[in-house]
Each structure stands twice: as structure tokens, then as C-alpha cells.
Amino acid sequence: MNQYDIIIIGAGPGGLTAGIYAGRQGTKNLILDRDLAGGLGREVPEMENYPGFDKISGLELIDKMKEQATKNCDLHEMENVEEITKTDNEYRFSVKTNKDTYFSKTIILATGSSHRHLNVKGEEEFKGKGVSYCATCDGFFFADRDIVMVGGGNSALQEALYLNNLGANVTLIHRRNEFRAQKHLQEMIKKEGIKTILNATIEEIKGNMLVESVLLKDTETGKLTNLPTNGVFISVGYIPHTHLACQLGVKLDETGHIVIDKSQKTNIDHVYAIGDVCIGLKQWIVACGEGAVAATSAFEDIQN
């Protein structure tokens, strides 16, 4: 019978860290992920704020974490969790996937998030034809070409710098009058001479077979202008994946994120949550810290 002490759903930075800590505590643990380990962390082109590394790509760091995690727990990639139900025995939860059914005393939700879309005309039509949500995945195809990067947070500026380093001619577009990103990223944008357009939104993405231009709207004047471009990279936030949490009756806040306490506990006994699916700072190192806390909380609750 597939019985575990802790099942971790999601193999991003937080989920992998939870697996490392859970295994080192002597419990039997399983990480399940519907995709490859790493989640959106695989798309980070270059980090300069992760302790211990001056610079490291998300993919490289994930590979290191995955190798460490699999020494401490089972990891099943490409296995989608379809349903979680409560049971009446020691193994309180039944976890049904597209491949098997597992039972666990505790659940750690590390289900992450997905890219938020602009929801403008042409976005779906030109997805994969000039519209992208991943600079690491698609940036190579836009060397020496004109592109726009949409967003004002850390991820948008990091990806704009990455695309610029690949040789793309980048224009950074943000709907507000200033960026939300960390100051050093803003300074790097200026240093690299990357063009910026503030107080502007994209109203439409235009083209024939491929993207050819975007229709911009000035948020102050309402004026519309057409900006020629070969590509549109979008980084405007994320949508938390809470389907499984809702199945279990886990409480969400007004933004749709899971509410947790300082021990990463949800309102449902023996269910914990970590990473981007929770309220709080969306940073790699925060997810890792939450993973360590959740695994420790789960271990302590199992002992009681």
C-alpha cells in the first residue's frame, strides 16, 4: 500500500526543500509534481540575490536541489494530483493522481502559481508566435530583434536584462509611473540603456502570421499609439493554484492565496502550505524557508 508520513504536492523550490527536511527527520515522504521539478523556478534566467551564489540560473539551482531532495524522499515528476480526500484512519488523506492512489498522514501544498495574462486582443492568437511568458524558454529566438517586455516587478526587469544580454532590442513597458522592482534592478536597467515606457498599457497585439506591433494606451491621456515589435514578453504577476486546497476546504484570502500561520499550517488540521500559493513575499528563498518550516511542523504533529 502506498502509505507515507508526508506527501508534498509540487516540486518547486519550496516543495524540494520540504522534501529534504522531511527526509532528514526520518519520515517516509513523497513529492508529486504534474510537470518537471522546479515549476516557474526553471524559468528564472539569472539570480543575484540567492545566498551562496553571486549568480546562478533557476534551472541550475533546481538541478542541485532536486539531486539533494531525491536522496531524502521519493520524487514523482509528470504525475498530476487529481483529487485529495479525507479518510477516517491513521493515513488521513487519500491522494489520487493520474497514475496511482497514495495515502498520507499529512499534506504539504506547494502547488505554486501560473503566469497572469494581459487578456487583450491578439494575446491568445499569437501565443508561441511572438507572445511569450518565459524569457529563458524563448529569448534565444529574438536576438537582434525588437521586443517589448511588459511588467514592473522583479521578474519583468530580470527578464528584460536577460533578453538584452541575448542581443534583443528591449523596450520595457509598465502601466504605472514607477517600477515595483528592487532598486538595484532598476539601476541595472538604466545602466544597460534599456528603453522604458511608463504609464502605458497594451490594448492589442497585432500581426499577420507573427507579432508585428502592439497598440499602446497612455494611462494618463488615453492616447493610442502603435509600436512595431517582433515579440511580446509578459510578466505581470501570477495566479495561485488553489484547486486542491479548495477541495480540502482550506481558507483563502481575498486575493485567492492560501492563509497560513507562522508554522505554515492552514485552517485544516495536518494540511500545510508553502510558496507562491500562499500569502506573503514571492521570493525563492522565502519558499525554501517555508518548506523547511512546514516539514518540521508536519513531523512534530505526526509525533503528537
Q: Which residues are catalytic?
A: 134, 137-138
297 alpha carbon, distance to own chain's centre: 24
Which distant-in-sequence residues (6+ apart) come within 8 Å of 237 by Cβ?
116, 151, 153
Per the listing, cell 519558499 goes with 287
Residue 158: Cβ within 10 Å count: 25
